[in-house]
Chain A
Amino acid sequence: MITVNGQDVILNQPITVAEYLRQHQYQINRIAVEMNGAILPKSQYTSVILKDGDKLEVVSFVGGG
């Protein structure tokens, strides 16, 4: 089980961060992902595999400012 934006999420099988984001329809170039308190560089989305106990914060930016 992992936590995403404060909510518990059960994963049926190990997946990469990129795959998780794709499944939840995040737009990759409009987000920032922090994993266990530190920024996860975009270059690592496809290589990092989510494991039990991981805490993700995914911030999606909307336009305007």
Chain B
Amino acid sequence: MNSFTKEQIYNALNERHSPETQALLSQGNVAVAGLGGLGSNIAYALARIGVGHLHLIDFDVVDLTNLNRQQYFMEHVGMYKTDALKSLLLKINPYLDIRTDCIQVTQDNLQELFQNDAIICEAFDHPEAKAILVNGILEHFPDKRLVAASGMAGYESSNSIHTRRITRNFYLCGDETTESTYGRGLMAPRVAICASHQANMITRLILGEEEP
């Protein structure tokens, strides 16, 4: 079993990113709401580049049918996604600050849940839940950045997945059209493209870029 000191891990990150860039990433503060196909992939990417503060939110447990796109393994089936994902991310970098909330986001708990997060990533499955989160964040926290997603099912062209800046602090990734249908459900490759659009937009925001 390998283990590395904090100094070793951050020297490696500094070497890849430069100390100046890594300093910004380490200060990054991101909530990932939904830890499924999008959220688990987004959290992995942000953890790998050393985004210092991650807030993981999901009420659900890992199911065998999740493994076609979500970053869990057979040993996690039945575990809460918050617990499973946190344990995985700490195997990449045990020095990250990772908070979890095993809870369903509602209009009533939204303000308390997200009050300390600077960037919020919407990674839910149900369109109604997406609408609740997006409306709630834009209404109560207009100065926080929000990166949401809509439309990433099947094996349609990769080229229709895009990032669009809707308004000042609200970004939307996906093709905005394709929902799951029979034989064209959510699948790892295309879901990961959308997740990477979100993760890269979040990275851009942390590093001072505002346009997609």
Which of the four size classes fits the interface of chain A? Answer: 10 to 19
A42 near B150: Cβ-Cβ < 8 Å? no
Which of the four size classes fits the interface of chain B? Answer: 35 or more
A64 near B131: Cβ-Cβ < 8 Å? no
Within 160-206 of B, Cβ neighbours of A (below 8 Å) are at 166-168, 170, 172, 174, 176-180, 186, 191
A64 near B153: Cβ-Cβ < 8 Å? yes
Whether A32 sits at the interface, judged by CB under 8 Å, is yes
- The residues of A that contact B39 with a CB separation of less than 8 Å are 65
Whether A12 sits at the interface, judged by CB under 8 Å, is no
Q: Most B CB atoms within 10 A — which of A42, A59, A63?
A: A63
Chain B nearest CB, measured from A17 CB (Å): 14
Query: In the complex, what distance in Å separates the CA atom of A4 from the CA atom of B90?
Result: 45
- A 51-63 to B, binary, CB cutoff 8 A, 1 in contact else 0: 0000001011111
- The residues of B that contact A29 with a CB separation of less than 8 Å are 128, 131
Within 34-60 of A, Cβ neighbours of B (below 8 Å) are at 34, 37-39, 41-42, 57, 59-60
A32 near B179: Cβ-Cβ < 8 Å? no
A63 near B167: Cβ-Cβ < 8 Å? no
Whether B50 sits at the interface, judged by CB under 8 Å, is no
B180 near A30: Cβ-Cβ < 8 Å? no
A64 near B152: Cβ-Cβ < 8 Å? yes
Within 60-96 of B, Cβ neighbours of A (below 8 Å) are at none
Whether B127 sits at the interface, judged by CB under 8 Å, is yes
- The residues of A that contact B124 with a CB separation of less than 8 Å are 65
B135 near A34: Cβ-Cβ < 8 Å? no
Whether B13 sits at the interface, judged by CB under 8 Å, is no
| Nearest neighbor of B132 in chain A, beta-carbon distance | A29
Q: Most A CB atoms within 10 A — which of B36, B138, B152, B191?
A: B138
- The residues of A that contact B186 with a CB separation of less than 8 Å are 64-65
Contact A30/B139 with A62-B151, A65-B34 known, Cβ cut-off 8 Å:
no
10 tightest A-B contacts by CB? A39-B138, A61-B127, A62-B179, A61-B130, A30-B127, A65-B38, A63-B179, A32-B134, A61-B150, A65-B125
- Interface CB pairs A-B, < 8 A, 12: A42-B135, A57-B166, A61-B130, A62-B127, A62-B178, A62-B179, A63-B125, A63-B180, A64-B186, A65-B124, A65-B130, A65-B152
